[in-house]
A and B are shown apart, each in its own frame.
Chain A
């Protein structure tokens, strides 16, 4: 294997390994902002280890699809993590899938998770599946138009090339189109990763659940895989926001020093985003389900304005 292939593998493992840690940081920050001490940052890792050891329970009516889904969801999420530039631009792996592939891989995970929600025949699972697909469907056009805005400024949907182009033309980073696209994608991130104000990741009431309602029947190693996949998804979205819009720090040359800088920059950017998320989640309440489309329509208009501004402000 060549150095670039190794680097791609390292990047992927980094995302998979650090993702629970990021979730732990967000939880910890939230607790602190709310005046609690909060669990240690390593808590998600401990939970995963515990879940892996536990005996998995499966509902009577669940089929093979129910048991296959955690693997499918985990695989699609890790594949996405492999396609997102974390440390370096210009790796050949970015040609395996561009931004559109990333979006549809995530949709594939959601698709199977929703099917798994319907499978045991429990009303909560069906409810979660229905709501999740509604939100996913409405988030899709926002992502599509935001991709257009990104592709327009970079003339490419290749993730590595978008970041590289931004590095080469730093002035575009503060253009209105760019900022609007960032805002649109940030709202989509909240919707897609099931955070407040769209969904409450720490709810314990079945009727208010969206993402958690689909996982309600899962336990043991299956639940561990799905929780881990959800953490990776959050990590990937944060990495996209960080490295496509603020790519500084990404290694252009593959020297150890540049990679170390890239790692530091990544940690810094993820930390800022985690703080922003924690602040937001502390300040806002969950929206009613039928106000979520309003939020997404706002972000759609933001994305559309982003394209307009970049298209006509050239």
Chain B
């Protein structure tokens, strides 16, 4: 298939063109060149992904694609799924970014509270944004094409750096600097783990192709070590609780097309790495591996969405929701590994298909939601929901598109979030086939946690959409908001269309995913492919069936029938506009509305044991009588105690160690030369003994 090779070359050329073009030209032309390069490259990536998924055969790409020696590239169906993700969100982000990086409509931006969105935003340099966008997309493409450890590491580090620069776009913001510092620290800890695991896996030679690694046999101890390192490395990248601390800091401060890419695509690289290393290269392992992933995923799912619920910064809310969705994907992978270890191939393949599908779907809806949040931020100057509201009137397109994204993330049928969660449910329901009862009992608990997370997601996104877009504007800025420019709407519309299409068409998508499962070595003996059975217009999981297309048709049909029925029944009196009911109050003001904090209050109280909130109520009374209250102050704060529990002691320890190490800094040149000599001698001795 030479066309795939040409496509791969076109991808890299387009991204290079976009990166350089954005850097050398100014103003509108620079924005256009950067966007054009990213769009062309992403479309080519998309085509490559579709081509390989349809063809189903793995394909080595001669290193001509990327002219550095030691780089080895190959594309198979597993890569193709992630190429789809990159291409889809990349092309939307390119189109969206063209409008987003244009100067914002000039109305005075009021200082906002919370979330560091304060002050008139110094506009980020569009040239840097264009270049970085192309670079980030190129490194991620390289990442999923990597076919040896060296290429994998190279792409990984380049991707982390590109992301970090995006976080630092607004370097004047102390919040951004702090986020970048955390991000760098965490991703390098992950990188160290990644180097370790790849060294262990490839027996020291980082340039051997993965095919050789796949055949290698390792002792059980080494395999366990590799697995744990992989959980750490990819958990850091994917934002798994408790390795997630950087995520809610970094994602909100980046420009919105970058936030969209980071949440929708960069996190998925952690998923890709996990699948590639643990399932493909190591063919799974004992049941406790799956248990670890299932537990970590469940923790992430619940904690992610619980913190999202309390958030009133729209982009931070979305970032926490990404943690939840990543958790769901890890749960599915964990369940898949458990099934695999018991030789239950059918439920395992349903679980992995669910994980891949959810990764794709999450990319579509979370990209859309971040772009919607960016549009809101751009036209109102704030992402604090307590100062928004009523935008459905002034930004109807953004509101409608955001609503599609919100319904998709809340897993409402027939949108895409539901399709993949349904598959994951189907896989978990098969848990009773596990012969060992104490392991089998994990599955109903996982079902409960997944259901709880999706219920809380629905509550969270009722809040996100309802407080931001509905009711009466809570600030003048929200009142004066104007609709986003066409290119931004086009970018969002692309992803909204993807949400609908992916939701209606699991019977097209899911069978194609079986190619990716085969690429991971999950082929059933006997009947051809894993029986992710297609039915006419529907899919069958392990225990049930559904058909989103028929469902959608039915829903539309019922709405139409009801409409006609009402007409026939004579119920067509015109609507009269009146004041909302208020028990006799005179005038309705925005301050009477439910706020974001008020909406989440019942759940905050129900889950108080998990949140550990600190409430502080001070009532100032008149000195003469305690019945005359002069003022009431109420402070409520929720500080993530996981962070406090783990990171504060660790940072303290690191600082202490760093203090010790500083003693070695003598400042004398001779001392440093001595260190060098000692290091050389030790290295030589070590190679003599170990080698």
Contacts and interface: CB of A to CB of B under 8 A. Distances in A.
Interface of A: 52-65, 67, 71-72, 74-76, 78-79, 82, 95-101, 104-105, 107-108, 110-111, 114-115, 118-127, 129-131, 133-134, 136-145, 147-149, 151-152, 155-158, 206, 216-217, 220-221, 224-225, 289-290, 293, 300, 303-304, 307-308, 311-312
Interface stretch (B1-9, B101-109, B251-259, B563-571): B563-571
Nearest to A155: B543
A126 B599 contact: yes
B471 A121 contact: yes
A83 B110 CA distance: 51
B450 A144 contact: yes
Q: Which 4 A-B pairs have the closest CB atoms?
A: A126-B594, A144-B451, A140-B455, A157-B544
Contact of B562 (A55, A59, A61, A225): A225
Interface in B432-473: 432, 437, 440-441, 443-445, 447-452, 454-456, 458-459, 461-463, 465-467, 470-472
A96 B547 contact: yes
B496 to A, nearest CB: 16
Interface string B538-570: 100101111100110011101100110010011
A142 B452 CA distance: 8
Contact of A52 (B390, B454, B569): B569
Interface centre among B451, B575, B582 (most CB of A within 10 A): B451
24 contacts: A55-B575, A58-B575, A60-B577, A61-B588, A63-B470, A65-B470, A74-B558, A99-B544, A100-B426, A118-B593, A119-B466, A123-B582, A126-B598, A130-B599, A133-B599, A140-B451, A144-B447, A151-B543, A157-B426, A158-B543, A158-B544, A217-B581, A221-B573, A290-B602
Contacts of A130: 594, 598-602
Contacts of B425: 100, 144
Contacts of B448: 141-142, 144-145, 300, 303-304
Contacts of B431: 148
A200 to B, nearest CB: 17
Contact of A136 (B412, B455, B556, B563): B455
Contacts of A55: 573-576
Given A129-B466, A137-B603, A59 B580 contact: yes
B554 A79 contact: yes
Contacts of B455: 107, 136-141
Contacts of A126: 466, 471, 593-594, 598-599
A61 B428 CA distance: 44
B466 A137 contact: no
A119 B588 CA distance: 13
B407 interface: yes
A309 to B, nearest CB: 11
B605 interface: yes
Nearest to A294: B606
Given A96-B551, A115-B465, A145-B444, 4 more contacts: A60-B578, A147-B447, A148-B431, A221-B571
B220 interface: no
Given A58-B575, A157-B543, A104 B412 contact: yes
Contacts of A62: 580
B476 interface: no
B429 interface: yes
Given A137-B456, A145-B447, A157-B429, A119 B576 contact: no
Chain A contact residues, majority secondary structure? helix
Given A65-B470, A152-B432, A75 B555 contact: yes
Contacts of B432: 152, 311
A74 to B, nearest CB: 6
Interface centre among A121, A131, A147, A303 (most CB of B within 10 A): A121
Contact of A95 (B463, B547, B578, B594): B547
Contacts of B600: 130
Contacts, number: 277
B392 interface: yes
Contacts of A129: 462, 466, 594, 599
A149 B431 CA distance: 11
Contact of B551 (A64, A101, A136, A147): A101
A303 B445 CA distance: 10
Contacts of B443: 148
B330 interface: no
A300 B129 CA distance: 49
A96 B577 contact: no
B581 A78 contact: no
B550 to A, nearest CB: 5
A56 B573 CA distance: 7
Interface centre among A57, A108, A119, A217 (most CB of B within 10 A): A108
B566 A221 contact: yes
B459 A206 contact: no
B212 interface: no
Given A96-B554, A133-B459, A111 B410 contact: yes
Given A78-B558, A121-B472, A59 B569 contact: no
A40 B500 CA distance: 46
Contacts of B598: 126, 130
Contacts of A142: 448
Nearest to A62: B580
Given A52-B566, A148-B443, A300-B448, A110 B606 contact: no
Interface residues of B, number: 89
A151 B582 CA distance: 47
B650 to A, nearest CB: 33
Interface in B577-625: 577-583, 588, 590, 592-594, 598-603, 605-606
A220 B601 CA distance: 32
A137 B459 contact: yes
B418 interface: yes
B444 A304 contact: yes
Contacts of A144: 425, 447-448, 450-452
Contacts of A300: 448
A147 B429 contact: yes
A108 to B, nearest CB: 4
A65 B406 CA distance: 14
Contacts of A155: 543
Interface in B452-505: 452, 454-456, 458-459, 461-463, 465-467, 470-472
B602 A59 contact: no
A148 B444 contact: yes
A59 B578 contact: yes
A54 B575 CA distance: 10
Interface in B505-539: 535, 538
Nearest to A143: B451
Given A96-B538, A140-B451, A148-B444, A118 B459 contact: no
A63 B393 contact: yes
B544 A156 contact: yes
Given A58-B577, A311-B444, A136 B471 contact: no
Contacts of A76: 555
Contacts of B470: 63, 65, 115, 118-119, 121
A175 B544 CA distance: 23
Contacts of A138: 452, 455, 606
Nearest to B557: A75
Nearest to B415: A108
B456 A74 contact: no
Contact of B581 (A110, A151, A216, A303): A216
A119 B471 contact: yes
Nearest to A304: B444
A210 to B, nearest CB: 10
Interface in B385-406: 389-390, 392-393, 403
Nearest to B573: A55
A75 B559 contact: yes
Given A139-B455, A293-B606, A115 B573 contact: no
A178 to B, nearest CB: 15
Nearest to A105: B413
A104 B471 contact: no
